[in-house]
Structure 1
């Protein structure tokens, strides 16, 4: 009777199970400590930084470039400077009757520069580039996608934590039932010892009783092992020490509630975001038809090393230059490659549109099945309640008759087995209701994150 009251109290309190402060505190602890969730948040930050990077592509890019080179040999450019000016110089010397204009030799210049430097500060900036706009839009959608991924994982984690907690309660309740059965067996042992002393029972019944006690001692050991495993997994989800103590839920006193509000399924948001990303990719692929215009500004100096040493004290090179440029880029022909990319993007969007409807139907089906399973589990539990009451009453009658000597011990053991089996089945059916309720909560996305 005691176990029945416990189970009924648990069932009465189940309606507030999902809102229990103890369990909700555990859920919040799991959400806070989850290493996987931290990884997801790092990925979100990465996506935010990627968007910031995409925005900087619209701004000027400044680089300092320096090339220092030296060479020996190679082709030369012959410069016949002597052949060109020596006749003129000879004529001038004859006219002036002086040697003021000396003869000079032909020269040559090495084609590969020797002791050459090229220093410049290059600034580039896109003036018109549709690809950058679409790239920024894609990065922005990827942030939304990662945020949705985090929400989906949170819901799955909440579900896992609640189910793990239910499994721990189930293992704990099994231990209580077995311990209650042991109390009945010890009572039978005491009665048998008394009957044997009075010569009213065969000593073998005491052996059989103690064998049953050993059997349930082993059952309790197995149940405690299951409890430890359930506790270890629960603590693992909360990122705690596996052996840390778990507080049992006191629950509330509201009735069992089946009507859960429909929440928002982030799985649909993921597909919507995927569609939007592919639309931006489609626009990106279509942008090949548009001009790309950019501007560049180079400020620098070119020349030989010696010219740097000969610059004035303000370090202004005698070969300084400024170069301003405007670039235009428009693809003319690529053998249909761009059109094929566009077709691929269109097919991907069409595929995601079809997937959207399919997933919506699947989620509706999941919710309906979870609701039906919960109703079925509740009916099974209610059918088990009367069995516990009947088995308890039957056991009391059998014990009374056994004490009076009107019943053999095998029939008493059968009554004990029936009550234990009934209590276990009712406990299992109760926790099955809890499990189905959590699954319905997940299917409807009712939990407020």
Structure 2
């Protein structure tokens, strides 16, 4: 029966909300836009996203050839020598040829000595390498693509959390402001009561004890007002910190509470859950681990690289047609034995995938539970709000009745104090319950992921 009454009340308010129009939240939406632009933590998340994007570009560049200049220089003296008796071998032949030709066309040559160590030797070349077969590059590229998506989702997750925090902080600030007004009104009533009792005492119709009690009431009201003003400053500073503004920056309070309450009432029945970024993020994490598992399973696929060297090498720093060269080659790498490490790594990757899937299932349960709890919290807050309205009406009527009775002499001063306290408590309860409804609606909006994020 209780649920039916709640549904009827909510349906009635929802129809009124549709008749009134969209919620007037221009001020709050403006603050949300500012927060999504200037929040420091969000800027850090954006940097992480940019870092992941550059890592992806780096992974894609692994397909391209790489070029590097390599220069080596060596010089030495001493060490082992090899005697080469080239003169002893060729000079007799040259002498015979000179006699036969009757000329000196074949000169005598000296024996040579060859040293093993180079002297003033350089080798300068440009090496170009390019992968031809390497499955790890493709898997690494896919992993980085998924990591970019993961970073994007983390940014969106924090954006939604920030939107909720900004709304709740704004409502808390408005609530503390309203509480200050309530305590100021209570202080004014207490001071009026003190003046009334003082006049009665001066006229010989009152009791001094009532004056003392009135002084106590005034002091208590001032203490509560001071505490409420401190809470306003704290709420103001926290709200401004979310927007990365000066701590004491002024906050616009031109917020249409009635339209917001109607919208919150419509949220109880009308809001539908959306796909949460947290679940998409966990699904992406599963994809990353599955890609890593595929890469581990292909450990036996050979890797083939090609290289080309264009350069020059010589002794004595010569550079000509005789020193220039090119060198083309292929490099093949194939694992043969690693002591079973690859098998163990594959087993670990399988466990990582299983763990990620369990995390996704657990997160689904937790998010469903959180969404249900947020909806129930909003329903409870709405009931408390309606109850607070009734209590305020009753407390206001009771306070007026007791005040008139005290002035007529039919009620005691203690009864007026009690009536005034009830009235103050009822006003404060209505303020608190009002913004509890709005905060609960913001929490439900967060749990359902229904706030429209602008990319």
TM-score normalised by L of structure 2 = 0.88
For the pair 1:234 / 2:234, whether they are aligned, the reply is: no
Cα distance in 2 for partners of 1:415, 1:374 equals 30
Partner residue, 1:370: 374
Cα distance in 1 for partners of 2:132, 2:352 equals 31
Partner residue, 1:274: 285
For the pair 1:65 / 2:70, whether they are aligned, the reply is: yes
Cα distance in 1 for partners of 2:437, 2:258 equals 16
Distance verdict in 2 for CA 1:252–1:425, change over 3 Å = closer
The 5-angstrom pairing of residues 292-311 of structure 1 reads: 292-308=303-319
Structure 1 residues not aligned, in runs of 5+: 1-11, 309-315
2:190 and 2:221 in contact (8 A); partners too: no
TM-score normalised by L of structure 1 = 0.89
Q: Aligned match of 1:329 in 330, 333, 336?
A: 333
Cα distance in 2 for partners of 1:75, 1:420 equals 107
Residues 25-59 of structure 1, C-alpha deviations (whole Å, 9 max, x = no match): 11111001112212222222222222222222111
1:20 and 1:252 in contact (8 A); partners too: no
Report the 3-state secondary structure (helix = DSSP H, G, I; strand = E; otherwise coil) of the residue aligned with 1:175.
helix
Cα distance in 2 for partners of 1:280, 1:102 equals 74
1:16 and 1:251 in contact (8 A); partners too: no
Report the 3-state secondary structure (helix = DSSP H, G, I; strand = E; otherwise coil) of the residue aligned with 2:299.
helix
Structure 2 residues not aligned, in runs of 5+: 1-15
Deviation at 1:183, TM superposition (A): 2.3
The 5-angstrom pairing of residues 169-248 of structure 1 reads: 169-248=174-253
Partner residue, 2:147: 142
Report the 3-state secondary structure (helix = DSSP H, G, I; strand = E; otherwise coil) of the residue aligned with 2:257.
coil
Partner residue, 2:159: 154
Distance verdict in 2 for CA 1:306–1:206, change over 3 Å = closer
For the pair 1:400 / 2:404, whether they are aligned, the reply is: yes
Distance verdict in 2 for CA 1:432–1:57, change over 3 Å = same
Deviation at 1:198, TM superposition (A): 2.9
Report the 3-state secondary structure (helix = DSSP H, G, I; strand = E; otherwise coil) of the residue aligned with 2:204.
coil
Residues 280-326 of structure 1, C-alpha deviations (whole Å, 9 max, x = no match): 21222222222322221111111112523xxxxxxx44211111112
Deviation at 1:386, TM superposition (A): 2.5
1:193 and 1:206 in contact (8 A); partners too: yes
Q: Aligned match of 2:257 in 211, 234, 251?
A: 251
For the pair 1:379 / 2:383, whether they are aligned, the reply is: yes
Cα distance in 2 for partners of 1:38, 1:139 equals 21
Cα distance in 1 for partners of 2:132, 2:428 equals 75
Cα distance in 1 for partners of 2:447, 2:22 equals 17
Deviation at 1:360, TM superposition (A): 0.8
Distance verdict in 2 for CA 1:436–1:75, change over 3 Å = farther
Deviation at 1:384, TM superposition (A): 2.8
RMSD (CA atoms): 2.5
The 5-angstrom pairing of residues 404-443 of structure 1 reads: 404-443=408-447
Distance verdict in 2 for CA 1:190–1:269, change over 3 Å = same
Distance verdict in 2 for CA 1:365–1:91, change over 3 Å = same
1:292 and 1:328 in contact (8 A); partners too: yes
Deviation at 1:68, TM superposition (A): 2.0
Residues 57-114 of structure 1, C-alpha deviations (whole Å, 9 max, x = no match): 1112122222122222233344343443355456657777988766654433222211
2:119 and 2:316 in contact (8 A); partners too: no
Cα distance in 1 for partners of 2:88, 2:165 equals 95
For the pair 1:40 / 2:48, whether they are aligned, the reply is: no
Cα distance in 2 for partners of 1:362, 1:17 equals 32
Q: Aligned match of 2:34 in 8, 17, 29?
A: 29
Deviation at 1:398, TM superposition (A): 1.7
Report the 3-state secondary structure (helix = DSSP H, G, I; strand = E; otherwise coil) of the residue aligned with 1:73.
coil
